[in-house]
């Protein structure tokens, strides 16, 4: 599942590779999630408490606390935790941003962006 989500994320980013698309709100809200696919960058961002880290950690924390509502995330969350990615409670995402991230991850899990 981790590989599918990673490849889907890469394909998602490619869809926004032209200069007009990089300011699209769907792209903007997902930019920080590169951290989930590079543990060294995750570790450095965590050490520095970067904004990107806080966004990703807040999302993981929210999903973990709401697994009964988002059961489709259970496997990917388990795989991320096995790789050392854990959520933390930061109040950095608006409800709108969080909902958009959830929709995008649901598309990744449903293979919408996977080749």
Mean pLDDT of the chain: 92
Where helices occur in the chain by DSSP H, the ranges are 2-15, 25-30, 39-48, 51-65, 74-82, 95-109
What's the predicted TM-score (pTM) here?
0.91
Predicted confidence band at 14 (pLDDT cuts at 50, 70, 90)? confident
Q: What is the dihedral of CA 42, 43, 46, 47, to 10 degrees?
A: -150
Q: How confident is the model at residue 82 (pLDDT cuts 50, 70, 90)?
A: very high
CB 97 within 8 A of CB 19: no
Q: Residue 45 is encoded by which pair of tokens?
A: 């961002």
């Amino acid at each position: 599942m981790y590989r599918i989500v990673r490849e889907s994320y890469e394909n998602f980013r490619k869809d926004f590779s032209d200069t007009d698309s990089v300011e699209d709100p769907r792209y903007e809200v997902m930019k920080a999630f590169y951290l989930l696919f590079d543990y060294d960058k995750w570790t450095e961002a965590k050490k520095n408490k970067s904004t990107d880290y806080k966004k990703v950690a807040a999302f993981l924390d929210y999903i973990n606390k709401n697994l009964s509502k988002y059961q489709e995330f259970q496997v990917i969350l388990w795989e991320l935790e096995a790789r050392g990615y854990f959520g933390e409670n930061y109040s950095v995402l608006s409800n709108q941003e969080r909902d958009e991230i959830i929709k995008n991850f649901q598309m990744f899990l449903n293979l919408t962006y996977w080749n």
